[in-house]
Structure 1
Amino acid sequence: MATGSLPHPTSPLRGVGVSPGTAAGPTVRVTERPPEPAAGPAPDDPVAEAARIAPAAQEVARSLRERTATTEEAAAVLAATAEMAADPSLTSRAEALVSERRLPAERAVHEAAGEFAEMLGAAGGLMAERARDVLDVRDRIVARLRGTVPPGVPDLDGPCVLLARDLAPADTADLDPALVLALATEEGGPTGHTAVLARALGIPAVVAVRGLLEHPAGGAVVDGTTGEVALHPEPVPARAAAVAEVAWDGRGRTSDGHPVPVLANVGSPADARAAVENGAEGVGLFRTEFCFLDARTEPSEATQREAYRAVLEPLAGLPVVVRTLDAGADKPLPFLSMGDEPNPALGVRGLRVAFDRPELLDRQLSAIAGAAADTGARVSVMAPMVATAAEARWFAERARAAGLERVGVMVETPAAALAGPALVRAVDFVSVGTNDLAQYTFAADRLSGALAELNDPWQPALLRLVAELARAGQEHGVPVGVCGEAAADPRLAGVLAGAGVSSLSMSAAALAPVGSALAGHTREAFGRAARAALAADSPQGARDAAARELTAGEGR
C-alpha cells in the first residue's frame, strides 16, 4: 500500500477486506463497552433499586428511535435494537434479580442480558449476531444507570477513520459517509452487520484485523479491497474513498462486450427503488422472508401477494428472481417454528421446511405468480438450501404447476455444488449463495470473527466450487449466477465472470463499482485472473495472483 509522504506507519496490518475502496484520515476510536458491574454492595431499598431499571431501558430505546438512519436497512436495525431495549422480559428479569439476590441495578441488567445472550448465542448463525445486539443494549442501559457515556461512536467533528473492536448494529446504522471515510475492526466477519452496512453505505472497511487496537494511531490508511490497514503515529490528511476507475454506462459487460448482468439484492419496496435508481439491470435475489420477519401467523395468500406486488412494482419490465422463504436456523420466522434442534444451522431450513408442509410453499408460489401478473415484472423463482438434484426437481415441478415458468435453485451447500451436472439439468438457472456455501465448505460460522479468513470469499477452495458449477452450467446451457456478498467485491466480480459466472447480484451501492470494474478488462483477461486465483493456496494469494494478471494484461 502506497503511503506517499505520510508519516512513517507501523507495518501494515492485514484483515479481511469487506467493502472495497481506499481511504485515509485521522483516527477516532469507538468507545469500548463499560467494565463489568460489581455484584455489590447490596441496595438498601431493593424496590427503589429495581424501579430504576425500566426508565433507563425506556430512555435507551427512545434515544435509539430518535437516531437518523442512512438506509432503510439501517432504520430496521435501529428499530429492532430499540425494541430489544424496551423488551419487558429483559427488564422484568433484571428487576427480579434485584429483588431475589439484592443485586445493584447495573449488575442485575448485566446478568439478565447475559442470560438472554447465552441462549441466542447457542443457536449460532444470525441468532448469535442478535446475542451481540443484546449485549449492546445491556451496555447502553448500564451506562444510563451509571450516568456515563454509552459505548459506541462518539460525536464526530470532521472526516475520520473509525477503529473499533467491533461495531454494534446500532452504531453502524447511522454512520455518515461524509464523516466516516473508512472502518477497521478487530473482530467481525465478511458477512456480519458491519460488513453488510459498510457495503451499503459505500464505506471502505476491513474486519478481523488482529492487533488493531494494540498500537497508538493518530491516522490510518484503510484498503477495503486488499484488507490492509496502515496505522500512522500522527494524523494523516483525510482522503475519501476511491473505487471505480472506469465510467460505467449502466450495462454489465466486460470491455470487449461480453455481457455479465449486474443485478441487485432486495427485500423491501425501498430496496427495489434504490436498485432502479442505482442502475440495476434487474434483481438477482428478492428475499421474500424479509417481508414477514415479525409475522406471528402465516400470512394469507392475498397478504403475500400484496407484499410481493409492492416490491415488484418499481421493477416492472425488469427480470426479477424471487427466492421462496429462507426460514429456519439463523433466520427464524415466528410462524414457522422448527422446534428445538440440536444444530439449527444443519437442521430444517430453506426448502426443507416445505417437505413436510408443501401446502405452505404452494400458497407462496401462487402469491408470487399473482404478484408477477399484477406488476409486469419478469419473474423467475428459486428455492434456498437445496442439497440434491432430486430436491431441485421436486421444487421445479411445484413452481411450474403454479404458473411460474422459469425456475432455479440456490447453491449453498457443497453437495449441491458437487452435483452440478445433475443439478443444472433439473432447473433453468442456478444462483450461488457464497455466504452459506463458504461456511458449510469450511465448517466455519460465517459470523465468527475468529474464523473470518475461512469465510473470505477469495478462498481458492470456494472459488473452485463456483468455477466447477459454472462449467457444468456452460456445458448444459444453464446460467450460473452469484448472489452472495462475493458479488459485491469489484475485483472478485471480474474473477467470477472469468470463471464462467453469468450474472452478479449485490447491494445497490455496489452496482456502479462492480459495473465499472467489469468494464475495465476483457473477458480473456478476467479468465486469466480467474485461473491464477484458482491456483493459489490462500485468499491473499488469490487476490495477489488476480491483481498481477490484470495489471500485466494492461500492457498486453
Structure 2
Amino acid sequence: MRMAGPPVLPPPRPVVDAAAEVAAVGKALAAVAADLDRRAAAASGEASEILEALAMMAGDPMLLEEAEQRAEAGADAAHALDGAFAGHREALAALGGYLAERAADLDDLRHRAVAYALDLPMPGLPDPGHPYVLAAADLSPADTAGLGPDVLALITERGGPTSHTAILARGRGLPAVVACAGVMDVPDGTVVGVDGGTGEITIGLTDEEAAAVGEGDRAERARLAASAGPGRTADGHPVKLLLNIGSAGDLRPGAEGVGLFRTEFLFLDRTGAPSFEEQVAAYAEVFEQAEEVIVRTLDAGTDKPLPFLGLPEEQNPALGVRGLRVDRLLPEVLDTQLDAIAEAARATGTQAWVMAPMVTTPAEAAGFARRARARGIAKVGAMVEVPAAALRAAALLREMDFLSIGTNDLAQYTFAADRQHPDLADLLDPGQPALLALVAMCAEAGRAAGKPVGVCGEAAGDPRLAPLLVGLGVTSLSMAPVSVPAVRTALAARTLAECADAARSALI
C-alpha cells in the first residue's frame, strides 16, 4: 500500500484576527511535539530516542518564534508554519551531509503541523487491517519507528543505504529497499516480493508465488531462531558477535557484549550538555547489563545537530570538525565524558573499553589514549573511518589497545561518495575491493600487534559479508541485535580457511 502524501496547502486566506493565528501556530507545534512524545514513550531503544529528538525539533523555540512572527505579519497559521519550516529546512539543507538528512525530518514535522492547523488528520501510515508492503516517496524516522506488525516490508523512492530509515528498518528486521524510483506508480493492491538483502523487488506475484515467498521467509526465520551460542566458524575459530546500541533499551540477549555504544543519543538535540551525573547514570545502566562494552565517545560536529556545542557553520561538514576533532575547540566536553565513563565503570565493577571517532593520525590516537588512561580506563581504541587511519593502522596500534572499523564512513571517504546519496549506493557497497583492502590492512596490523580489530559498520551485520571480514582477519563483528542470528549461522557454515579463500577472491 502507498503512503498518503503531505497535506495540500490551500491558497492564503484573509486574516482578521492575527492573535488567533499566533495561538493556532503554537497549538499546532505543541500538538506535534506531544504526539511524538507519546509515540516515543510507547517505543524503546533507538526508535524512542529518535522520536524524542524529533519532538524536541518540533518544540524548538526559534521555530515557534519565526512562525509566530509570520502570523503577526498577517499570514494564516498554516502558511505561517509552512514558511517557518521552509526557512529552517533551507538552512539545514545548505549544510549538506547529515544535516541535509535532518532537513528531511523537518519536512515530516511541517506536514504534521500544517495538517493540524488545517484541521486535517496528521499524515500517518495506512491501516488496512491486514499485512501489507508499505510504499512511500520517503519515510521519516518517526514513521519508521512507528511501523506496526502489519508492515511486512518497506520500499521508498528516496533515501540512502545508511539513512535513518534504512538503519531503523534493518534494526527491526524489516526487509527494506530504498531509492527505488517509480515505486509510487505501482497501484495499491499489487502483490510484490521484497528482498532486503539483494534490493530486488518482484511485482505482480501470483497467489502461489506469494505463498511460496511467505513460506520461505517463515522457514528462514525459524532456522535463524534456532541459532545460539558464541560466534564460531565451522572449525571453531572464535569471532565475537557484539551489538550496536544507543542506550540500555537496545540491549538484547544472544550477543557477547556491546561493540558500539553510540553515546551521542544522550546529547542529541539538547540545548545544554547532559550533566556529569546524568552521563554516569546512562553509562552505568548499560555496564550493569552487558559483560563487555565498547563506548564510543561523542561522535558529533557540524555534520550532526548538537546545538549546545555552538560550533560554527561549515561549507563541507563531512570534512570538517566532527568526532574527536570537536576536542580541538571544546576539550571540556570530552573531559567530562571520559570522567563519567570512568566513574560508571568503577561504580559497576566493569572494565570499560573506550574508543574515539574520526581518529586520523597517530598523534591524535596518542593524545586520546593518554587522557583516557589517566582516568583509569585500561582499554583504549580508535574508530577507523578515514583512509588515513587505515593506512597508518600499525602506528595507531602502537598507541591503542584495539581498532574498530566503521565501514559506513570509511566507504564514504574512500569513494568520495555521500553516504546519504541514493544514486551512489554501488560506490558505498562495503564489498568493494578497495574498501576490503583497507579492512585487510587494519586486520594485518592487529595480527602483528596481537590486538583485536573489529568492524561495527553495516557490513558487520550482513551475513554475506561477515565471512569475508573474518577471512580478512577481523576478530569481532558488531551489529543491530536482529542481525546476530543470521551472521552466527553464516559463520558456522564455513571454516576459517573457506572464509579466507572467499576474502582473497573478493580482493581481486
Q: TM-score under structure 1 normalisation?
A: 0.83
The one of 170, 179, 182 equivalent to 2:153 is: 182
What's the secondary structure of 1:254's corresponding residue? coil
Cα separation, 2, equivalents of 1:90 and 1:360 = 27
User: 289, 293, 306: which is aligned to 2:264?
Assistant: 289
Partners of 2:345 and 2:375 in 1: how far apart?
Answer: 12
Q: 2:364 aligns with which of 391, 394, 413?
A: 391
CA contact (8 A) 2:56 2:269 kept: no
2:443 counterpart of 1:464: no
Name the CA shift for 1:519/1:139 in 2 (closer, same or farther; >3 Å).
same
- Are the counterparts in 2 of residues 244 and 516 from structure 1 also a CA contact under 8 Å? no
AA matched with 1:135: D
Range 157-166 or range 241-250, more displaced: 241-250
Counterpart-to-counterpart distance in 2, 1:66 and 1:397: 43
Aligned-pair CA distance for 1:426: 2.6
Between the aligned partners of 1:61 and 1:302, the Cα distance in structure 2 is 27
AA aligned to 1:284 is G
The CA distance in 1 between the partners of 2:33 and 2:341, in whole Å, is 36
Q: Does 1:311 align with 2:311?
A: no
CA distance in 1, matches of 2:307, 2:33: 23
8 Å CA contact 2:245, 2:260 repeated in 1: yes
Separation of aligned partners in 1, 2:473 and 2:205? 45
Matched, 1:265 2:244: yes
- Match in the other structure for 2:385: 412
Q: Which segments of 5 or more consecutive residues in structure 1 lack a partner in the other structure? A: 1-27, 536-556
5+ residue gaps, structure 2, are: none
Residues of 2 paired with 1:148 and 1:456: CA distance? 42
Q: Which residue of 1 aligns with 2:25?
A: 53
| Cα deviation 1:131-183 (Å, max 9, x = unaligned) | 1111111112222333444433111411111111111111111112x311111
Residue 198 (structure 1) aligns with: 169
Tell me which amino acid in the other structure corresponds to 1:481.
G
Structure 1 residues 269, 396: CA separation in 2 closer, same or farther (over 3 Å shift)? same
Q: 1:129 aligns with which of 87, 91, 101?
A: 101
User: How much has 1:397 moved relative to structure 2?
Assistant: 2.2
SS of structure 1 residue aligned to 2:419: coil
> Does the 8 Å contact 2:46/2:249 carry over to 1?
no
Matched, 1:449 2:422: yes
Name the SS for the 2:464 alignment partner: helix
Task: Give the alignment partner of residue 334 of structure 2, picking from 343, 350, 361.
Answer: 361
2:45 touches 2:246 (CA, 8 Å); kept in 1?
A: no
Identity across matched positions, percent: 53
Residue 463 of structure 2 corresponds to 490
* 1:152 equivalent in alignment to 2:124: yes
Q: Distance in 2 between matches of 1:340 and 1:114?
A: 19
1:361–1:150 Cα change, 3 Å: closer
Deviation at 1:39, TM superposition (A): 4.7
2:51 matched to which residue of 1?
78
Contact 1:90 1:113 in 2 (8 A): yes
Q: What is the CA–CA distance in structure 2 between the aligned matches of 1:40 and 1:380, rounded to whole Å?
A: 57
Give yes or no for contact 1:432–1:466 (8 Å, CA) kept in 2.
yes
1:470-485 alignment runs, 5 A limit:
470-485=443-458
Q: How many residues end up aligned between the 2 structures? A: 499
Supply the distance in 1 between the matched residues of 2:308 and 2:445 (Cα, whole angstroms): 38
Does the 8 A contact of 2:21 with 2:76 survive in 1? yes
Separation (CA, whole Å) in 1 of partners of 2:5 and 2:84: 20
Which whole-Å CA distance do the structure 2 matches of 1:50 and 1:334 have between them? Answer: 26
Offset of residue 359 of structure 1: 5.0
Alpha carbons of structure 1 residues 33 and 332: separation in structure 2 relative to 1, 3 Å:
closer
Aligned partner of 1:111 among 83, 87, 97? 83
Superposed CA RMSD: 2.5
Structure-2 change in CA distance of 1:298 and 1:78 (3 Å): closer
SS of 2:56's equivalent? helix
Q: Equivalents in 1 of 2:276, 2:356: separation in Å?
A: 18
Equivalent residue, structure 2, for 1:250: 229
